[in-house]
Copies of this chain bind each other. A is one copy, B any other.
Amino acid sequence: MKPLIPNDAASKALGAGPGPDREDLSLHDEILTRLRDHIVEGNIPDGGRVPERQLCEMLGISRTPLREALKVLASEGLVELLPNRGARVRQLSEHDLAELFDVMGGLEALAGRLACENITDAEIAEIERLHYEMYGFYLHRDMHGYFRVNQIIHQKIVEAARNSALLATYANFAGRIRRIRYSANFARKRERWGEAMREHETILDALRRRAGSELSDILFKHLRNKRTAAVEHLTADDKAGSVPT
C-alpha cells in the first residue's frame, strides 16, 4: 500500500489562499492526470478491476469526479466500462498493440511531413545533437539512455510539426502504449538495435533536406519495424508469464 494523500489537501489547495488563480488546472484535470498516471504506471494489474472507493480515498475526492475521470479515460481507450460492472483496465491483445503501433506510425509520418514544412534550423541542430547523444548511448550499449533520448527525438519531431491536435492525439496513443512498455523492456532485441540506429540516420538525413514525403515514408516504416519487435516481445512475454493451471 502506498501512503495516502491527505484528504483535505486537495480541496484546501483549490479554495484557500489569496491567489486562487494558481490552481486553475481545475480539480477535474488534476484528477484526470493523476488517475491516468496511476494506471499507465501499472499500479493496477492488466484487466483488473478499478475499485472506485479505494481510489476515492487515495485521491481524497468523492465518487462523482472520479467517475467523470473514468469516463474520459474510457474514451481515451485506457480503460473499458462494462455496464453495471465498473471499469477495468483495458488489456491489449497483440492485435490491439499492432493497431496502436500502426496509428503511431501514421501520426509520426504526418509529424515528419509537417515538420519539414515548419522546422527551424535551430530545431534541426537540436535534434542532431540528440541524435549523436543517442549514438553515444548506442556505442556504450546503454539501453536505458538510448530509449530515453530516442523518445525525446520522436517527441521533438512531433512538436516541430506545429500542430496541437496532432500533439494531443500523439500523446494519447503514446500513453496507451507506454503501459505495455512499462511492464517490460525490449532489451532482448539486440539485433534490431543496429537496424534502428541506421534508420535514425536516414530520418535525420531526410529531415535535413526537408524531404517531407520521404521522411513520412521512413518514419512509418521505422515504426512498423518497432511494431514487429514489440509484438514479438509481447507474445514471448505472454508465453513466459502464463501461469500453469
How would residues 166 to 178 of chain A score, 1 for a CB under 8 Å from any chain B CB and 0 otherwise? 1011000100000
Q: Is A225 at the interface (CB under 8 A from chain B)?
A: no
How would residues 82 to 111 of chain A score, 1 for a CB under 8 Å from any chain B CB and 0 otherwise? 110100000000001001101101110111
Across the interface, which residues of B come within 8 angstroms of A163, CB to CB?
99, 102-103
A83 touches B26 (CB 8 A): yes
Across the interface, which residues of B come within 8 angstroms of A231, CB to CB?
none
Across the interface, which residues of B come within 8 angstroms of A169, CB to CB?
103, 169
Task: Give the complex CA separation of A104 and B122 in angstroms.
Answer: 28
Task: Give the complex CA separation of A120 and B113 in angstroms.
Answer: 29
The stretch that binds B, out of A52-60, A67-75, A137-145, A197-205, is A67-75
Q: Would you give the shortest CB distance from A188 to chain B, in whole angstroms?
A: 24
A83 touches B9 (CB 8 A): yes
The A interface is mostly helix, strand or loop, or mixed, namely helix
Question: Which B residue's beta carbon lies closest to that of A107?
Answer: B106
Q: Is A236 at the interface (CB under 8 A from chain B)?
A: no
Across the interface, which residues of B come within 8 angstroms of A105, CB to CB?
110
Question: Which B residue's beta carbon lies closest to that of A71?
Answer: B68
Across the interface, which residues of B come within 8 angstroms of A216, CB to CB?
109, 216-217, 220
Task: Give the complex CA separation of A221 and B54 in angstroms.
Answer: 50
Q: Would you give the shortest CB distance from A29 to chain B, in whole angstroms?
A: 9
Across the interface, which residues of B come within 8 angstroms of A110, CB to CB?
102-103, 105-107, 109-110, 220
* A→B interface (CB under 8 Å): 7, 9, 24, 26, 28, 64, 67-69, 71-72, 74-77, 81-83, 85, 96, 99-100, 102-103, 105-107, 109-111, 113-114, 163-166, 168-169, 173, 213, 216-217, 220
Q: Knowing that A7-B85, A72-B74, A109-B110 are A-B contacts, what are 7 other residue pairs whose CB atoms are under 8 Å apart, sorted by A's residue number? A: A72-B75, A77-B165, A102-B110, A102-B163, A102-B166, A103-B169, A169-B169
